[in-house]
Amino acid sequence: MKKNTFGVAFVVLLGLSSFTSRAPAADKGAKASGAILIPAADVKWSDVPGMTGLQIAPVDGDPSKGPSHFFLKFAGGFAAPLHHHSANHSGTVVTGTLALTVDGKEQKLPPGSFFAFTGKTKHATRCEAGADCVLSMDVRGKWDVVMEGDKGGGKK
């Protein structure tokens, strides 16, 4: 099977990024009494190298090392083939309409919708054309993307 760049790009992004325990956006946000407050204008987006249409913005923790919260932004029309993530995670759709395919069935999730994946659930992801999809992610471990059909079984 042809190598897919989706997972490779995520590893490149996470490997090249030197996130601190608090992402750069959190450094600009107000911190008091154990709170992190980050206005939308202070969220720092980074392009995922090699993946046109995909951006990440960590706001708490380091996705490449362990539990974290971050935003993902998919350009309208972006699609990722069947894959899974090692860590249990959940997300909320902030903008756009996200289409997730699990067990061969597609479910469209408009803004305000919630999803959760545990146990390395295989899924395909697509952002409906017309508007970017922004997701707020809560990840319970190191973030990775493992492409299905990768005969080497390697994590991307």
In a domain, 133, yes or no: yes
**Given pLDDT bands bounded at 50, 70 and 90, which one contains residue 75?**
very high
Quick check: is 152 in a domain?
no
Tell me which H or E stretch contains 7.
helix 5-16
16 part of a folded domain: yes
Predicted local confidence at residue 32, as pLDDT: 62
Residue 86 inside a domain? The answer is: yes
- Is residue 4's pLDDT more than 90? no
153 found inside a domain? no
Helix (H) or strand (E) holding 75: none
Beta carbons within 8 Å of 33's beta carbon, 6+ residues apart = none
100-135 CB burial, b ≥16 within 10 A, e <16 = bbeeeeeeebeeebebebeeeeebbbbbbeeebbbb
Residue 131: band (very low, low, confident or very high) from pLDDT cuts 50, 70, 90: very high
> So what's the pLDDT on residue 139?
97
On average, the pLDDT of the chain sits at 82
Residue 155 lies in a domain: no
Average the pLDDT over each of 33-37, 45-49, 71-75 and give the range with the smallest value.
45-49
Alpha carbons within 13 angstroms on the beta-carbon side of residue 3 total 9
Residue 143 forms part of a structural domain? yes
| 98, 133 Cβ separation under 8 angstroms | yes
Distance between CA 97 and CA 102 in Å, rounded? 16
Q: Rounded distance, CA 84 to CA 107, Å?
A: 17
Number of domains making up the chain: 1
User: Could you tell me which residues come within 8 angstroms of residue 35 by beta carbon, excluding any fewer than 6 positions away?
Assistant: none
Q: Is residue 50 part of a domain?
A: yes
Contact predicate 64/14, CB 8 Å: yes
pTM above 0.85, yes or no: no
CATH number at residue 91: 2.60.120.10
pLDDT at 8: 41
Q: Which residue has the higher pLDDT, 23 or 56?
A: 56
- By residue range, what is the domain housing residue 142? 5-32+40-147
Q: Is the pLDDT of residue 82 over 60?
A: yes
Instruction: Mark out the alpha helices in 17-128 (DSSP H runs).
Output: 24-28
- pLDDT value, residue 48: 76
